[in-house]
Structure 1
Amino acid sequence: MRRSRLRHLGLAGLLVLGSLTTLGTLPASAADSPASPASSAPSAEEPAASAGLLEAMRRDFGLTAAEAEDRLAAERRATDLAPTAQRAAGNAFGGSWFDADAGRLTVAVTADATPATVRAVRATGAHVRTVEHSARRLDAAKTRIDRLDAPAGVSGWHVDPAANAVIVDVVSGEHADNDVQRFVDRAREAGPVTVRTVPTAPRTFAAGTVGGDPYYTGNVRCSIGFSVHGGFVTAGHCGRAGAGVSGWDRSYIGTFQGSSFPDNDYAWVSVGSGWWTVPVVLGWGTVSDQLVRGSNEAPVGASVCRSGSTTHWHCGTVLAKNETVNYSQGAVHQMTKTSVCAEGGDSGGSFISGDQAQGVTSGGWGNCSSGGQTWFQPVNEILGRYGLTLHTA
């Protein structure tokens, strides 16, 4: 990469979030008293949110700067709390999610949980809700549904802990289709299922070569996700293993070392030839360039932001995890669904919550004018699959 270009972009320029090659689609309880809210002031270990990030949350969530700071602090607490609360729930664990209105983590436990178990979960500071089905049962039902062949009228399915069911999304107007009906019937045999309607089917689509800060594989343009030691991670549909990659200036960056799509949608690219990696996500002038300090997984309900070379920086909410998305090329598993918009050329780009890497953009539906939903492949899965180490600040 030319040094003059680096001076122009600053540190984040090396993370050139390219352009999305795959955007698409879709698209009775026991309550306890709320825990006292902790101060939203960042501790010495918690760097303050940048003014740009707070401005993006004001724009996309309708929050004041103080409300955005409070939400980010509450989400950090919920993220840190979730593993402890799950261990406390044990076999009675029914899932967990961040309740944005209450500003706290909610943990579901089954009705057969012992009083001692409920007390242990509440002692962590989480709100407790009683549900019928355990997370283990719901996950097992989803796994059985994953073995079915889904027709095009079914856009995907995921476990929804708040609904305590497996949600099967059917494209509007396709409910009467015989193949869809058969799929739904077989899905209901697998376990507790709720059918919902989505506006359109998921799809991936490549972007032609246009200006910006992309990387290119042939005539396909995609976005860099996160720097790892030795390269970066991105979406699998952007290129196959062995394919060469060039940067924004068409100079050679490196090569796809591993790639998987469908079934998964992830890949990693080695870098060389004067290119190097830094722990930064590009803010595109909308927000300050964001340092990456880790990859702690944000809970359902938490805010998340996306960076991509076509539509730049947008924020939304984590809607679901471990969703199977039924693209026309085949099903992709273990995806996270968000309310963030994206468009063609944003594929592979970064999803980040605060300063914690979350995943790489896969696909979705809609656009950033009228809105939509986007899925990402979780970054920790990619790191584990290829034995990579995230480059952090």
Structure 2
Amino acid sequence: MKHLMKMYMRRALVVAIVGAGISLAGASDLPGQLSASDGMLAQVMALHSLDERGAIERLAAEEAATDLYHRVQGMNIPGYAGAWFDADSQKLHVALSDMALAEMLSKFGAAPVQVAWSLAELEGVQRMIGGGESGLGPAELRKLYVDPRTNRVFVGVVPGQADAVSARLSAYADKVEVHEVPHTVTLTADIRAGDGTRNKTWETLHGGIWPCTIGASVENGFYTAGHCVDAGNVLTTPAGTTTVGQAQLSAYPPASSTIHDVAWVKGATGWTPKPKVNGYSDGIISVPAKWAGTATAPIGVSVCRYGQTSGGPHCAWSMRSMSARGSGRTPS
């Protein structure tokens, strides 16, 4: 029984890693080589206040929910309004403004939840607010995303502006929730998983050390955070002695704009993408080929992220497609 539970745990932790966007492309099939360490399991247990058996059972349920989530996303369901993993029922909850296919989803193992608005309707409101049509600008808006659990658009504003923004968005009062957000997103080097890097170009131009982390390896290179590089920048290993690659594309706007924080780095000669994750205290994690790539995880599942400064913290996926106002990047 314990062997079976450990097998579920290994598979589920792969889903958690993939859901976090950390899995590495270019892998060969390495079944059984993903070893879920006691440290990883302990963090999941602490995160959800569970014993070992409960943590393993939850991870197995999250794996099943994630598989179903991907199926649901490809079904073009009328009135689809998002989905999330519910810890109490251990099921994927699927919000629907049209219940025509609710029975079918129940047979698949999902828990349909009737709501007022479809995801398309809420995303339309999100685009309207984020695009400036509502009159809200960087001086007021700090966070913006669709929350399927409340069937509302979460609008985060600077302290003291909630009433004024609520009045301005009164026409959408039944589709939005306005909350005060005390701080902007402050970007640091401990965002992404994997081996560390240094921006050698910025060091030459501005001095200091500019660390970051490889997010996920892809064909001919890897993804990293956009705030870590500009196109053309050279990245090295943490020691600063070996060139890792050169950034080809970087998406990161000024702090006054909505964040699109991603960059692609072309690997230097001899730099080969590997199907592995540097788990730091959790060791080197090999990712089987069938889990390679990136995938969107449903809200509510456990995820693991690894970075050269953050180590291996585990958390629960809480939101997706969020726009945010940020600070913390100086070079341009």
TM-score range, shorter chain: 0.7 to 0.9
Residue number in structure 1 paired with 2:118: 134
Shift of 1:155: 1.5
Q: Is the 8 A contact 2:246 2:268 kept in 1?
A: no
Q: How do 1:95-114 residues align onto structure 2 when only pairs under 5 Å count?
A: 95-110=82-97, 112-114=98-100
Shift of 1:259: 0.8
1:216 aligns with 2:198: yes
Shift of 1:196: 2.1
Q: How do 1:25-174 residues align onto structure 2 when only pairs under 5 Å count?
A: 42=7, 46=11, 50-51=36-37, 52-86=39-73, 90-110=77-97, 112-114=98-100, 117-148=101-132, 149-174=136-161
Q: Is the 8 A contact 2:189 2:309 kept in 1?
A: no
Shift of 1:123: 1.3
Q: How do 1:261-340 residues align onto structure 2 when only pairs under 5 Å count?
A: 261-262=252-253, 263-285=259-281, 287-292=282-287, 293-294=291-292, 295-328=294-327
Aligned partners of 2:46, 2:212: CA distance in 1, in Å?
26
Aligned partners of 2:220, 2:74: CA distance in 1, in Å?
35
Aligned residue for 2:238, secondary structure, equals coil
Aligned residue for 1:66, secondary structure, equals helix
Percent sequence identity is 31
Shift of 1:232: 1.2
The amino acid of 1:163's aligned partner reads T
Residue number in structure 1 paired with 2:19: none
Q: TM-score, normalised by structure 1?
A: 0.64
Aligned residue for 1:320, secondary structure, equals coil
Aligned partners of 2:264, 2:144: CA distance in 1, in Å?
27
Shift of 1:204: 2.7
Residue number in structure 2 paired with 1:242: 232
Shift of 1:64: 2.2
Aligned partners of 2:127, 2:246: CA distance in 1, in Å?
34
What is the alpha-carbon root mean square deviation over aligned residues?
A: 2.9
- List runs of 5+ in structure 2 lacking aligned partners: 12-31, 204-209, 254-258
Shift of 1:215: 1.2
Shift of 1:122: 1.0
The amino acid of 1:282's aligned partner reads N
Shift of 1:107: 0.8
Aligned partners of 2:139, 2:56: CA distance in 1, in Å?
42
Q: How do 1:348-359 residues align onto structure 2 when only pairs under 5 Å count?
A: none
The amino acid of 1:240's aligned partner reads D
Q: Is the 8 A contact 1:88 1:120 kept in 2?
A: no
Write the deviation string for residues 85-132 of structure 1: whole angstroms up to 9, x where unpaired. 35667212121110012211001112x433xx2211211110111111
Residues 261 and 67 from structure 1, CA distance in 2 versus in 1: closer, same or farther, beyond 3 angstroms?
same
Aligned partners of 1:189, 1:328: CA distance in 2, in Å?
31
Aligned residue for 2:95, secondary structure, equals strand
The amino acid of 1:54's aligned partner reads L
Aligned partners of 1:206, 1:174: CA distance in 2, in Å?
31
Q: Is the 8 A contact 1:257 1:269 kept in 2?
A: yes
Aligned partners of 2:189, 2:102: CA distance in 1, in Å?
49
Residues 239 and 41 from structure 1, CA distance in 2 versus in 1: closer, same or farther, beyond 3 angstroms?
closer
Shift of 1:275: 3.0
Aligned residue for 1:60, secondary structure, equals helix
Q: TM-score, normalised by structure 2?
A: 0.75
Q: Is the 8 A contact 2:96 2:114 kept in 1?
A: yes
Aligned residue for 1:155, secondary structure, equals strand
Residues 316 and 172 from structure 1, CA distance in 2 versus in 1: closer, same or farther, beyond 3 angstroms?
farther
Residue number in structure 2 paired with 1:16: none
Residues 49 and 195 from structure 1, CA distance in 2 versus in 1: closer, same or farther, beyond 3 angstroms?
farther
1:197 aligns with 2:180: yes
**Which structure has more helix as a fraction of its residues?**
2
Aligned partners of 1:327, 1:190: CA distance in 2, in Å?
26
Aligned partners of 2:326, 2:237: CA distance in 1, in Å?
28
Residue number in structure 2 paired with 1:253: 244
